[in-house]
Each structure stands twice: as structure tokens, then as C-alpha cells.
């Protein structure tokens, strides 16, 4: 078990009995690139997770150990700055978030590791941020709400990883509920859970294996393009504070001034927000086939208008579309690689995974990994595990 491995690694390097915490990755059924436009998202926490073992250490520094990289990092808590060790940056960003909120962070020891595939669009970085944020909140009795912890994680992403991400990933990791998806209104931060019955339909992920180096720079560019669209619209419609408030009509009226690229980015976001609303109605009615059609439409928008897909993801969606019985498929997360998310009736899951892998190999000569996921609870503390030496 993951927690046993991480607890054992902790005991190998540090003397104390640690607090154990698990922090899941996430899927997002629909609502992509809408979070930083104050729109709607529909994520869920999944059974791919990062485990943490953390204890205060009475030292002036934090000693960090990545079990997966087998690497140590010592953090001077008086001077927390981003550096060259990427995995440590996420943890440092969380420490900085506590400090910026007036919390004195004393020395601590931390070992962590997990099975969220890196660069697969399943938010391994948010799981790392949220796991440590939750553990420090407990150990320091800092009293932050889960939402504040999510905001600390998001801030870490902005300040220490250079990605101006929205709140979806951290929210999903902290607010996940078993067998439910959750719709978040990224402006009001109101959220609503919807039951998702994996007895009849499974969420299957197809990992393209592509880790695109453009992901963070293009992500920030998309965000700027959306902001530019809002600035232009605001001259005519002062009530438009973000793309959440804009309509397709307004965009059409000012199409020339917006220019082709910004127009397409903005119209994608407006349509995607509408799709989330429609998809949630289908979910409430139990109409997963109609839900799946919204996913296909979402993919087409991400590919053609938002331009964050890549040929491998497009092929995977085509394979899903051609497979009888599959209800919906689209690229997921920031884009430029990572996974597609597929809605597959339970009895077809194995045959779909086999077919998708064979087709991916024959069309692109690439190996495909597939994951049949379960929807699990968000970040939580785990019971202590006995390790040798205890």
C-alpha cells in the first residue's frame, strides 16, 4: 500500500512518528479552461493519489524527501524562494502561502510519493500542494478552511511553478466525494455534488503518453487572450467582468475588433460554460448518452477554437467515437498532451481498453496506457501504519 511505503520511507530518514495524509488527483468531466474565466467546472477526485508523511522536527529547516525521485531537499524556512528542483517548488509554494498568511512555519520533515502519473493531466502537482497544505494545517493548528487550502495551492502554482492556473485542480483534490462529481462555480465558489454511478458507467482515461513542453507557456497565453477579449468587451458592456458574463452575440458584434484568435478563444469559453450547465441537467436526468455528446462537442472546441489539443489526443477521441457503445470522450486538463477522459458502459470497459490500445498502436505506432478510475473522497488524514522500528 502506498501509505505503508511512504511511512516506511519516512521512518528510514527521520526519527518521529508522522501524520499520514492522502491527496488524490482529479478528472474533469466537462468545463475545461473555464475556471480562470470565472466559469463552471465538473471535476471529481480519483483513486490515483499522493501520500504524505509529515512531522515537526524542532530544527530551523524543513527536510523534504521525494520517495519517487529518491531525492532529498533541505529548505531554509527564513528564505523560501522558487528554485531549480521542480518537485520542491510545489512544497515551497505551500510553505510560502502559510507564511504570507501570517503563520510561522517551524521546521518539519516530509516524505511523499504516489501513483498519479506525472504530466498526464491528472493534477499530480495540485495533489502535492494540497497534501502538504492539509498536513501543515493539521500539525500547526492553523485553522484554514479547505477552500483556503485550495487557494494556497493555487497560489503555489502561480508563484512557484509559473502557471497562472485556475482553482479547479486544488478544489477537486480537497473537495472530492466518493461516487460524486462536483460542479464548482469559480466566481462565487459555490459548489454542488451530483451522484455518479460507476456501477453502470465507468470513467476510463487513455494516456496519450505525450508530455508537451508548451503546456505552461501556452496555458498562460490562453489566459492572456481571454483577458484581452474581456478588456475589449468591457468598453461596450461594462457589466462583463469576465468571460463568464459574455454572450456569443456580444462576441459576434465585435468580432473584427477582437480579431480571429481572441474571438475563437472567447467563443469557446462562452460555449463551454453553456455545455457544463446542459451536461449537469443531463446528469440529473440520468441521460449519460446526452452528457457524452456534450463531451465530444467540448473536445471539438478545445481542438479547433481553443487550440490546446494535439494529434495524439485527437486520434484517441476519434477511436472512442468509433467504438460502439462509448458515450463520450474528450481531452482533459490544460492540454497539449496527457489523457482523454472517456465515458464507457461498465460491460464494455475491458474491450474498449483493448481496442483503444490496439488502434493507437496501429495508427500512430504509440503505446497506450489506460486507467479505469474510481471516484474517491478528497484529501484526508490516514490512520497511522505500523512500520519496522515502531
Stretch that binds ligand GAF, among 11-19, 54-62, 164-172, 297-305 (CB under 6 A): 164-172
* Residue 167: CB minimum distance to ligand GAF, A: 6
Asked whether residue 304 is marked as a ligand-binding residue, the answer is no
- Per-residue mark of binding to ligand GAF, 186-225 (x: CB under 6 A): ----------------------------------------
Residue whose CB is less far from ligand GAF, 33 or 254? 33
Stretch that binds ligand GAF, among 30-38, 76-84, 238-246, 375-383 (CB under 6 A): 30-38
CA pair distance 202, 137, nearest whole angstrom: 34
Minimum Å gap between C-beta 78 and ligand GAF is: 30
Residue 343 known to bind ligand: no
Instruction: Give SS3 for 207.
Output: strand
Find, among 283, 302, 304, the residue nearest to 292 by Cα: 283
Instruction: Tell me: is residue 384 an annotated ligand-binding position.
Output: no
Q: What are phi and psi of 98, to 5 degrees?
A: -65, -45
Give me the least distance between CB of 183 and ligand GAF, in Å please: 14
H or E segment and range at residue 124 = helix 124-139
In the complex, the smallest distance separating the C-beta of residue 350 from ligand GAF, rounded to whole angstroms, is 29
Say if residue 193 carries a ligand binding annotation.
no
Query: Shortest gap between Cβ of 215 and ligand GAF (angstroms)?
Result: 9
Residue 34, marked binder:
yes
Instruction: Tell me how many residues contact ligand GAF (CB under 6 A).
Output: 11
Q: What is the DSSP letter of 385?
A: -
**Residue 388 annotated as lining a ligand binding site:** no
Pairing of strands 108-114, 61-66: parallel
> What is the DSSP secondary-structure string of 331-345?
E-SS-SSSEEEEEEE
Segment near ligand GAF (CB under 6 A); pick from 108-116, 161-169, 175-183, 192-200 = 161-169
22 binds ligand GAF (CB under 6 A): no
- Annotated catalytic, 169? yes
- Rounded to a whole number of angstroms, the minimum distance from the CB of residue 264 to ligand GAF is 17
| Cell 467504438 -> residue | 323
- The grid coordinates of residue 10 equal 519516512
Among 19, 30, 110, 168, binds ligand GAF (CB under 6 A): 168
Selected from 166, 292, 301, 337, the binder of ligand GAF by CB under 6 A is 166
Sign of CA dihedral 167, 157, 212, 45: negative
**Which listed residue (169, 185, 197, 249) is catalytic?**
169
- State how far the Cα of 183 lies from the Cα of 193, in Å rounded to an integer: 6
242 is in an annotated binding site: no
Q: At 201, phi and psi to the nearest 5?
A: -140, 135
Taking alpha carbons only, the member of 313, 308, 118 closest to residue 217 is: 308
State the first-to-last Cα distance of the chain, in angstroms, to the nearest integer.
17
Nearer to ligand GAF, 88 or 308 (CB): 308
> Which triple of cell numbers denotes residue 185?
462555480
Please count the other Cβ atoms lying within 10 Å of the Cβ belonging to residue 5.
Answer: 17
Cell of residue 225, nine digits: 487572450
Dist CA 106 CA 259 (whole Å): 52
Tell which one of 38, 89, 165, 267 touches ligand GAF (CB under 6 A).
165
Task: Write down the least CB distance from residue 172 to ligand GAF, Å.
Answer: 9
Measured between alpha carbons, how far is residue 216 from residues 95, 127, 159, 339 in Å?
Answer: 22, 18, 13, 16
How far is CA 192 from its chain centroid?
A: 18
List 36, 87, 144, 291, residue binding ligand GAF (CB under 6 A): 36
283 to 342, contacts with ligand GAF by CB under 6 A?
A: 333-334
Q: Is 119 part of any known ligand binding site?
A: yes
User: What letter would DSSP give residue 29?
Assistant: S
Residues of each annotated binding site: 32-35, 66, 119-125, 157, 219
- Binding site for Mg(2+): residue ranges? 125, 157
What is the binding site for ligand GAF (CB under 6 A)?
Answer: 32-33, 35-36, 123, 165-166, 168-169, 333-334
Going by the annotation, the residues of the binding site for ATP are: 66, 119-125
Q: Give the catalytic positions in this structure.
A: 169
Amino acid at each position: 500500500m502506498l501509505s505503508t511505503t511512504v511511512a516506511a520511507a519516512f521512518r528510514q530518514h527521520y526519527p518521529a512518528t508522522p501524520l499520514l495524509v492522502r491527496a488524490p488527483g482529479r478528472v474533469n468531466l466537462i468545463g475545461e479552461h473555464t475556471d480562470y474565466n470565472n466559469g463552471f467546472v465538473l471535476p471529481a477526485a480519483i483513486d490515483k493519489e499522493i501520500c504524505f508523511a509529515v512531522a515537526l522536527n524542532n530544527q530551523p529547516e524543513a527536510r523534504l524527501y521525494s520517495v519517487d525521485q529518491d531525492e532529498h531537499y533541505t529548505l531554509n524556512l527564513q528564505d523560501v524562494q522558487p528554485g531549480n528542483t521542480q518537485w520542491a517548488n510545489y512544497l515551497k509554494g505551500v510553505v510560502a502561502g502559510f507564511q504570507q498568511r501570517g503563520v510561522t512555519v517551524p521546521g518539519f520533515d516530509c516524505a511523499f510519493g504516489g501513483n498519479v502519473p506525472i504530466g498526464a493531466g491528472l493534477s499530480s502537482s495540485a495533489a502535492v500542494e494540497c497534501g502538504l497544505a492539509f498536513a501543515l494545517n493539521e500539525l500547526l493548528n492553523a485553522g484554514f478552511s479547505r477552500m483556503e487550502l485550495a487557494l494556497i495551492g493555487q497560489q503555489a502554482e502561480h508563484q512557484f511553478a509559473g502557471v497562472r492556473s485556475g482553482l479547479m485542480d486544488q478544489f477537486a483534490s480537497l473537495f472530492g466525494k466518493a461516487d460524486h462529481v462536483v460542479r464548482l462555480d469559480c466566481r462565487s465558489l459555490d459548489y454542488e455534488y451530483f451522484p455518479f454511478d460507476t456501477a453502470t458507467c465507468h470513467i476510463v482515461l487513455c494516456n496519450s503518453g505525450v508530455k508537451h513542453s508548451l503546456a505552461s507557456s501556452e496555458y498562460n497565453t490562453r489566459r492572456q487572450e481571454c483577458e484581452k477579449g474581456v478588456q475589449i468587451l468591457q468598453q461596450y458592456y461594462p457589466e462583463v467582468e469576465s468571460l463568464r458574463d459574455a454572450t456569443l452575440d456580444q462576441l459576434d458584434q465585435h468580432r473584427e475588433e477582437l480579431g480571429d484568435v481572441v474571438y475563437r478563444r472567447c467563443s469557446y469559453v462562452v460555449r463551454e460554460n453553456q455545455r457544463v450547465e446542459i451536461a449537469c441537467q443531463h446528469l440529473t436526468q440520468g441521460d449519460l448518452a446526452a452528457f457524452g455528446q456534450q463531451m465530444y462537442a467540448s473536445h471539438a472546441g478545445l481542438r479547433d477554437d481553443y487550440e490546446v489539443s494535439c494529434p495524439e489526443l485527437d486520434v484517441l477521441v476519434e477511436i472512442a467515437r468509433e467504438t460502439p457503445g462509448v458515450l463520450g470522450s474528450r481531452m482533459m486538463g490544460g492540454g497539449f498532451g496527457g489523457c482523454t477522459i472517456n465515458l464507457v458502459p461498465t460491460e464494455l470497459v475491458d474491450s474498449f481498453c483493448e481496442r483503444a490500445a490496439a488502434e493507437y498502436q496501429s495508427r500512430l505506432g504509440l503505446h497506450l496506457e489506460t486507467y479505469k478510475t474510481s471516484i474517491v473522497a478528497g484529501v484526508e488524514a490516514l490512520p497511522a501504519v505500523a512500520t519496522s522500528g515502531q
